[in-house]
């Protein structure tokens, strides 16, 4: 599928063998036009390098009205290396990873994040696809502009300085 935004197009290659529920949910929502005219409401530029989208409210609190279980793989080779820092388990989500955002175990809905630089996160986010070089180029250009108003969740975390609107996902 291709996410078309006001900043460029972002092709996604899905990984249905690893995350069938996440892929099916995303495709069903996209087919219904759910993501059309929504914003990518969060950009992180320090320590974590992601653009987060998929919230119809644009606040980080919205979703489709349902949730589904995590699809996490033990020792997922896509999330390497893994380790423990300060008592917190982490794995490295590589550049180009597409994963579900969530609020805790089994709370996946419509929000997702696009990783534009290797980032250490707890191994709690379902990976369901990856980006190609052209999509990464679009996201890196968005990130290069920085954030606007900080979110209060830490430095380098807020809405993109130049708003990003998804016009369609097909």
In the chain, where the domains are located: 2-169
- 128 φ/ψ angles, rounded to the nearest 5 degrees: -130, 5
pLDDT for 158 equals 95
pLDDT level of residue 75 (50, 70, 90 thresholds): confident
Output 73 or 55, whichever has higher pLDDT: 55
pLDDT at residue 101, rounded to an integer: 98
**Using 50, 70 and 90 to split pLDDT, how confident is the model at 74?**
confident
What percent of the chain shows pLDDT beyond 70? Answer: 100
SS3 assignment, position 144: helix
Structure confidence by residue, pLDDT tens digits, 101-155: 999 999 999 999 999 999 999 999 999 999 999 999 999 999 999 999 787 777 7
* Cα–Cα distance list, 42 to 15, 20, 30, 115, 138 (Å): 24, 25, 20, 12, 15
For 41, 48, 69, 84, the CA distances from 81, given in Å and listed in that order, are 28, 15, 24, 10
- What are the distances in angstroms from CA 83 to CA 18, 92, 123, 154, 157? 22, 9, 10, 23, 24
Query: What global pTM score does this model have?
Result: 0.96
The confidence score (pLDDT) of residue 120 equals 95
**For 2-169, CATH number?**
2.40.100.10
CA 145/CA 127 separation, integer angstroms: 26
């Amino acid at each position: 599928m291709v996410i078309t935004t006001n900043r460029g197009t972002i092709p996604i290659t899905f990984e249905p063998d690893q995350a069938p529920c996440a892929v099916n949910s995303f495709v069903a929502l996209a087919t219904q036009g759910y993501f059309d005219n929504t914003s990518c409401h969060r950009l992180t530029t320090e320590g974590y390098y992601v653009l987060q989208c998929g919230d119809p409210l644009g606040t980080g609190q919205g979703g489709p009205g349902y949730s589904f279980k995590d699809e996490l793989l033990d020792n997922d080779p896509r999330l390497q290396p893994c380790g423990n820092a300060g008592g917190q388990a982490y794995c490295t989500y590589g550049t180009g990873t597409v994963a579900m955002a969530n609020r805790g175990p089994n709370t996946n809905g419509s929000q997702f994040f696009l990783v534009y630089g290797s980032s250490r996160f707890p191994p709690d986010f379902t990976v369901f696809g990856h980006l190609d070089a052209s999509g990464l180029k679009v996201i890196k250009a968005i990130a290069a502009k920085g954030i606007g108003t900080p979110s209060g969740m830490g430095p380098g975390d807020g809405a993109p300085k130049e708003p990003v609107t998804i016009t369609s996902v097909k």
